Amino acid sequence: MEVFLVSTLNGLVYGMLLFMLASGLTLIFSMMGVLNFAHASIYMLGAYFAYDISRTLGFWSALVLAPALCFLVGAVVEMYGLRRVHRNGHIAELLFTFGIAFIIEKAVQMIWGLLPVPYRVPAVLDLPLFTIYGTNFHAYRGFMLLISVLMFVAIWLGLTRTRIGMVIQAALTHPEMASALGHNVPRIFTLVFASGAALAGLAGVIGGNYFVTEPSMAYTMGPIVFVVVVFGGLGSLAGCFIASLFMGLVQTYAVVIDYSLADLLTSAGVAINTASPWAEILTVPIPRIGALLPFLLLILILLFRPRGLLGTRDT
Amino acid sequence: MFRRSLMALAGVAFAALASLSGAAQAQGTIKIAYTDPLSGPFAQVGDQNLKQFQYIIDYINAKGGALGRKFELVAFDNKSQPSDALIALKSATDQNIPIIMQCSGSNIAAALIEGVEKHNARNPESRIVYVNCGAVATELTNEKCSYWHFRFDAHAAMKAEIMVRALPKDVTKVYLLNQDYLFGQSVQRDVKVFLAKLRPDVQVVGDELIPLGKVKDFSPYITKIKAAGAQALLTGNWGPDMTLLIKAGMDAGLDLRYYTFYAHLGGGAIAIGPAGDGKVRSIMPFHENISVETGNKELEEWTKAFRAKHDFDFYAAGFRTIFEFIQAGFNKAGVVDATKFAAALEGMTLTDMTNTQVTMRKEETTRSSPSIVGVFSKGVKYDSEKTGLGWKTETRVEPKELDQPNTCKMKRPGA
Amino acid sequence: MSTQTSGAGIGGLVTGGAGVALRRNALWLICLAIALVMPWLFFDFTTGRHSGFVVSMLSQMGLMIVLAMSFNMLMGQAGLLSFGHAVFFGFGGYCTAHALNAIKAETMWLPVELVPLVGGAGGLVFALVLGYPATKQRATAFAMITLAIGELVTACALMFKLFFGGEGGVSTDRMIDTSLFGFSYSQSIQVYYLVVAWTVIAVALMWLQTQTPLGRMANACRDNFERAQFVGYDPRRVRYWQFALSGFFAGIGGALYALVYEIVTFDTLAAPMSGNALLMAYIGGAGGFFGPVLGAILVVLLQSGVSLLSSAWLVYVGVLFIIMVMFAPGGMIGLIGAHKPIARIGRLRALMVPYARMLVPALLALLGFVLLVEFATFMTIGAAQGKKFKLFAGELDPATALPWLIAGGALVLGGLWLRREARAFRVVWDGLMAEAKARGAAA
């Protein structure tokens, strides 16, 4: 019971972290059909900006300014780059973001060097919040949880209650019609892309000091975020939210389920030892592949429901 | 229009190639080729090593180099790909460079050992020796051992034994967590073997493998470790797999000792931070506070000067021993020739900068020298990466205490 | 750019006489001749040895060409973007390595020259198995499935030692004494010629495949997915078979890798290798047939050649990529092919002066950009490595402001001048295209 509760808590926190990262990407993906490979790079930029800003102005200023800077970066990339590439097709857009990711990584290496930078959790949050079954729950994790929930609520309200949000929703499913009705769809695209970038930057501010801030952080964070976004489905923020939590919980529970296929076979009466054929594969316990389960789940859902969990549009 | 620019670029590249391929060995310097990732996500490794090596080589050259000539380092970027390392090898042999060094990545090391063996067998006029400064998979000097491969770092099985020997008497429950690939699996296996042999009183309460580089949130593992009641965590993890694990443990407030292989390398101290005081241990051949502990003034001045010049600490200062071996090897061989150098190097014994005897064992061409288990603590003279904490010697394990099986059947060259 | 008009046709050999075939295939034959002769240009006559580095790099180009072309069977021919294509390359490599070891241990017999077929077979089987789920979907869903498959296979390769040999991979020896022609393959130049031979065979087969009904239907599905169904073929089956065949050729590429490097490790299957295939195919040009060959050559030059000169080569790759994507989405082959109508009316010469006028500012801007990047890299990374910044004969000190100003000035000046020349060029170009159109040469 203890393990179940603690694991649920861990899974929720991790899931919300994934959501922080994925929320911006799902907006961009749903809106423009562009799988933004540079999303994780902007996450990295957010962390580095926050590191520099927090050294002079403090963490709380960084929380506001770093995403703002990322917003600008996203806007520039969209207006002068992506927009032009848009007419060359989806593959071209994707490859463009690929190239941007390369360049950002190298720029980060050139400006901040190759070593990790000491971007730390602010002292006021660097303490245990409460203790559950003898293990501390760190205050910063609670803070991360709070910010994620706020992000979700803010985006949800923004999309459903504001006028611009309505237009964005319309353009999500019927871009041509929205344009025909007189809305400046290119300007909306820029806004969405820049907002997505700002969200990635915010995730970077929060995640950079929890994880390690170094030039390879984009490379390591990238794949899982795509999995979450596609699993959640195009055009659906709620889908992204559910997918993030689901993936977080799956990965966390997997760590505590110490069984393998061999155990299953043994309970059915078939003994497996190291000399059996395929023993290497059968004796793999679930915790070993926990971090790979999201990829498996992605394949499964794409096979049977290519729209993703709550997708409103076909890919 | 861009086609022209591309053609121009290609032209420049070809011209450079032509000049490179035709370059003969300059009489002036003895070249040492070095390959590691110098670009891409792991560029930090190669870059820092390069700076440290250059500093060491400047020192060795100031002491006269070898055979009246100075050493020169020639760097090749292998981008973490074995195929690029093999191309670098070709480039090195084209220029008749006698030594190639490599420190990072057992997959690259395996490719280089095979590549060097085959090249030396097929091209006896341009032989090359492979000096391994860090790739630790045990097989490389056991099943895959080679006459031309000299390893200067303790291998995984040796480190596993050292780790077990360093466990204090009051620790009776340990948890193992490693990365799920050849290296991590061999650490897992070796630690269990040595625990059974040397510390039968210790119980392994948990034993995990994690996919390499994929786990971001270690809190579920920390939960398991806590639930199992472990007192020490033994791990061969490196990179984010190590730093995130330790961070998660410290955030959760676990009273745990962390025994690692790599916390002392670049990036470890920054990531662990001040909260790691007294908790994290690592196995290393050398750290900068040894000179303070043993009162070795000259050594201390030398490592201190490095810090003044670069903004990271001199964690690879121990590599000076490697270059001293190279210097002595050439002096003994009397000529810059890979075959004679290899013959001179095997079995050689030197006194290194900490006044310890170090031997390059003949049987499996591995270095035999003491290993230090250092603990990350406050209050040391030289801190790591400006965190205010540094490494302090906790245990020292002598080579003769180690009891390692040796399965190397070395094939010696006919001539 | 349709596959029918790009380059010449091997089919010419069948229908026309030898003379006609020679003329139509001139371009290919010239390339082949260059490939055969190239190592000798770098032969070191003083030591009597080939430049090992050049031969290795050329061999690398050969096997990357096969990989890129097999990737283009999916992207260019069938419109399927795959992020996990390298798994078939790697799997073919592993199968070949095991086969070579088996031949050496005399548990099976196969001539060395035919060993790439083992790799191809391995790639084919793997693609048949993995392609079944992957090709159930198309477009983005397909891309994501292949991404996930790539990650899973890479993780498995690290975890399971029996087949994949763990981190150290599977090493092998190509000197197994079963050559049909009596070669020992101890010298890399011999392996290079084997690579050239197989590259030619693979490319020729892939070209023939584009002429088959399957190849044509793949094009149709790419161009208009809905209407292609009206023809009567199930697009899913078309995708599946195209996927399987591309896996076959990727496997051949992997086999060549195993023969050249004699060791196969997990990074032959991993994401960076898949990314490379994509890069090469796109830079060369996905639309035509010949494109990925150019792309592979250029990318290998950048990766192995330029990386020797500068550790900032990744920036150049990124910038090149972006320029291509923004201004030349048809890749290099697209750029070259755009000249076709003008060539047909014989007015190419009119472009020479405008090109020359653009060349100077372009080089200036390029020089400025390269210098800026190199200075920046030097300041943060290179300086402490104890090197000095050498440019041709002179030494420059990037710590001072002057070199930066010069480089920045060159970039800005070159850029502005280029823009002016480019406008003038555009006018000439448009004029010539209009003329070509009027004379019926353009589409």
The torsion angles phi and psi of C300, rounded to 5 degrees, stand at -65, -40
B 353-392: CB under 8 A from A: 385-387
Q: Are A14 and B253 inside 8 Å of each other by CB?
A: no
Chain B stretch 221-240, residues whose beta carbon is closer than 8 A to a beta carbon of chain C: none
B315 has a pLDDT exceeding 80: no
| Contact residues, chain C, for B212 at CB < 8 Å | 155, 158
Contact of C301 with chain B, judged by CB distance below 8 Å, is answered with: yes
Q: How many domains is chain B built from? A: 2
Report pLDDT for C434: 86
pLDDT for res B21: 36
Residues from chain B that touch C187, judged by Cβ atoms under 8 A, are: 122
Model confidence at C246, in pLDDT bands (50, 70, 90)?
Answer: very high
Smallest Cβ distance to A315: which of C141, C162, C321?
C141
- B partners (3+ CB pairs within 8 A) are A, C
When pLDDT is averaged across residues B312-329 and rounded to a whole number, the result is 83
Q: What is the pLDDT of residues C125-164, one digit of tens each?
A: 999 999 998 898 877 788 889 989 998 998 888 878 778 8
Chain-chain contact of A298 with C148 (C-beta, under 8 angstroms): yes
Q: Say if C338 is an interface residue toward chain B (CB within 8 Å).
A: no
Contact B266 A115 (CB under 8 A): yes
Does B105 lie in the same domain as B220?
A: no
Which residues 218-257 of C are in CB contact (within 8 Å) with B? 257
pLDDT bin (cut points 50, 70, 90) of residue A314 is low
Task: Quick: pLDDT tens for B43-56.
Answer: 777 888 888 888 88
The angle at the Cα of C439, spanning C435 to C443, to the nearest 5 degrees, equals 90
- Give the chain A residue whose CA is nearest to the CA of C132: A303
CA distance C254 to C92: 5
Cβ contact B252–A115 (<8 Å) = no
The model's pLDDT over B266-300, given as tens digits with 9 standing for 90+, comes to 778 877 778 788 889 988 888 888 878 888 888 88
Containing structural domain, residue B210: 157-284+370-401
CB-based contact A298 C144, cutoff 8 Å: yes
Q: What pLDDT, on a 0 to 100 scale, did the predictor assign at position A6?
A: 82
B249 and B397 both lie in a single domain: yes
Q: Which two tokens mark C270?
A: 């991993």
Strand-pair category, B257-260 with B280-284: parallel
- Chain C residues with beta carbon closer than 8 angstroms to that of B182: 158, 161, 165-168
> For domain A2-257, is the CATH number 1.10.3470?
yes
Binning pLDDT at 50, 70 and 90, where does residue A172 land?
low
- CATH topology classification for C50-331: ABC transporter involved in vitamin B12 uptake, BtuC (1.10.3470)
* 8 Å CB contact between A48 and A108: yes
Residue B59 CA to its chain's centroid (Å): 20
pLDDT at A132: 74
Say which CATH number the domain at B274 has: 3.40.50.2300
Inter-chain CB proximity B270 and A255 less than 8 Å? no
Residue B77 lies in a domain: yes
Q: How many CB contacts within 8 angstroms connect chain A with chain C?
A: 112
Nearest CA to CA, how far is B245 from chain A (Å)?
10
Could you identify the residue written with the tokens 């990365």? B179
The count of CB pairs under 8 A between chains B and C is 182
The DSSP secondary structure of C157-224, one letter per residue, reads: HHH-HHHH-GGG-EE--S--S--SS-----SHHHHHHHHHHHHHHHHHHHHHHHTSHHHHHHHHHHH-
Predicted confidence (pLDDT) at residue B309 exceeds the cutoff of 50: yes
Top residue of A105, A228, A298 to mutate, by most chain C CBs within 10 Å, is A298
Q: Do A96 and C159 touch (CB under 8 A)?
A: no
Digit-coded pLDDT (tens) for B93-109: 888 899 999 988 777 88
Residue range B13-46, pLDDT digits in tens: 444 443 343 333 446 888 999 998 887 767 777 8
**pLDDT for the residue C21:** 63
- Are C55 and B90 a contacting pair at CB < 8 A? yes
Q: Check whether residue B344 and residue B391 sit in a common domain.
A: no
The residue whose two tokens read 């590249």 is B13
Band the pLDDT of A75: cuts 50, 70, 90. very high
Identify the helix (H) or strand (E) that includes residue A64: helix A59-77
Nearest CA in chain C to B108: C168
- Closest CB from B213, B223, B271 relative to A7: B223
The mean pLDDT value of chain C amounts to: 83
> Residues C306-337: pLDDT tens digits?
777 777 777 788 888 888 888 888 888 888 88
Subunits with at least 3 CB pairs below 8 A relative to chain C?
A, B
Closest CA–CA distance from residue A168 to any residue of chain B (Å): 33
Candidate from C56, C267, C386 with C-beta closest to B87: C56
Which residues of C are less than 8 Å from A88 in CB distance?
325, 329
C-alpha A152/C-alpha A18 separation (Å) is 12
B6 confidence band (pLDDT: 50, 70, 90): very low
User: End-to-end CA distance of chain C, in Å?
Assistant: 11
A135 CA: distance to closest CA in chain C (Å): 31
Decide if B300 is inside a domain. Answer: no
Residue C288 has pLDDT above 70, yes or no: yes
Residue C11 has pLDDT above 60, yes or no: no
Per-residue pLDDT, averaged over A80-95, amounts to: 81
Residues C32 and C38: their CA atoms lie apart, in Å, by: 10
Q: Which residues of A are less than 8 Å from B217 in CB distance?
A: 10, 13-14, 17, 248, 251-252
What mean pLDDT comes out for the span B209-237? Answer: 86
B208 bridge partner residues:
B177
Inter-chain contact C381–A103, Cβ cutoff 8 Å?
Answer: no
Average per-residue pLDDT for chain B: 81
Task: Name which of C72, C156, C326 to mutate to probe chain A: the one with the most chain A Cβ atoms within 10 A of its Cβ.
Answer: C326
CB contact under 8 A, A230 and C140: yes
Helices (H), B229-372: 240-251, 268-272, 290-294, 297-309, 319-333, 338-345
Q: How far apart are CA A78 and CA A24, in angstroms?
A: 14
pLDDT of residue B272: 79
Distance from CA of C106 to the nearest CA of A (A): 24
Distance (Å, whole) CA A41 – CA A200: 9
More confident residue, C8 or A278: A278
Mutate which of B215, B223, B387 to disrupt the A interface (most A C-beta within 10 Å)?
A: B223
Non-local (6+) Cβ contacts of A223 within 8 A are A295, C147, C151, C271
- Which residue in chain A has the smallest CA separation from B219? A10
By mean pLDDT, which of A131-140, A187-196, B210-219, C79-88 is the weakest? Answer: A131-140
| Domain spans in chain A, listed from the N-terminal domain onward | 2-257
In this prediction, residues C229-241 reach a mean pLDDT of 88
pLDDT at C17: 59
Q: Is residue B304 in a domain?
A: no
Separation CA B289–CA B282 (nearest Å): 14
Chain B residues inside the 8 Å CB shell of C165: 182
When pLDDT is averaged across residues C54-67 and rounded to a whole number, the result is 92
| B385 to A115: CB separation less than 8 angstroms, yes or no | yes
- Record: contact A224-B216, CB cut-off 8 A: yes
**H or E segment at C359?**
helix C349-377
Closest chain A residue to C374, measured at CA? A110
From the list B296, B293, B280, B291, the residue with the least C-alpha distance to B313 is B291
Whether residue B255 sits in one domain with residue B225? yes
Closest alpha carbon within chain B to A1: B227
Q: Which residue would you say has higher pLDDT here, C400 or B241?
A: B241
**Range C70-96 average pLDDT:** 93
**Does the distance separating the beta carbons of B118 and C173 come in below 8 Å?**
yes
Does the pLDDT of residue C18 top 60, yes or no?
Answer: yes
What local confidence, expressed as pLDDT, does residue C389 receive? 60
> In this complex, do A291 and B215 lie within 8 Å of one another by their Cβ atoms?
yes
Q: Do B240 and A211 touch (CB under 8 A)?
A: yes
What band does B3 get if pLDDT is binned at 50, 70 and 90? very low
Query: Parallel, antiparallel, or unpaired for β B371-378 and B280-284?
Result: antiparallel
Look at A255-259, B72-76, B82-86, B116-120 and tell me which has the smallest mean pLDDT: A255-259
**pLDDT tens sequence across B327-384:** 888 888 888 888 888 888 888 888 887 778 888 887 777 777 788 888 888 888 888 8
pLDDT tens digits, residue range C359-397?
Answer: 888 888 888 888 888 877 777 665 545 555 665 545 666
Q: Distance between CA atoms of C275 and C82, rounded to whole angstroms?
A: 9
Confidence tier at C39 by pLDDT (50, 70, 90) = confident
Regarding predicted confidence, which is higher, A2 or C423?
Answer: C423
**In Å, how far is B400's CA from the nearest CA of chain C?**
29
pLDDT band at C257 (very low <50, low <70, confident <90, very high): very high
Q: Do B41 and A141 touch (CB under 8 A)?
A: no
Task: Give mean pLDDT, residues B68-75.
Answer: 88
Best A135, A260, A293 residue to mutate vs chain B (most B CBs within 10 Å): A135
What local confidence, expressed as pLDDT, does residue C220 receive?
87
**What does the pLDDT read at residue C388?**
57
> Which ipTM value was assigned to this complex?
0.84
* B292 part of a folded domain: no
Give me the pLDDT at residue C383, please.
52
Does B107 reach chain C within 8 Å, measured CB to CB? yes
Q: B263 and B351: one domain? A: no
Other CB atoms closer than 10 Å to residue C118's CB: what's the count?
24
Mean pLDDT within B311-323: 80
Q: What is the pLDDT of residues B169-220, one digit of tens each?
A: 888 999 999 988 778 888 898 899 999 998 899 999 988 888 877 788 888 8
- A 10 A CB-CB count for B47 gives 28
Distance from CA of A161 to the nearest CA of C (A): 31
Output b/e per residue, C185-217; b: 16+ Cβ within 10 A: beebbbbbbbbbebbbebbebbbebbeeebbbb
Across B162-166, B250-254, B280-284, C202-206, least confident range:
B250-254
Query: Residue B135 phi/psi, 5° resolution?
Result: -80, 120
pLDDT of A213 > 90? The answer is no
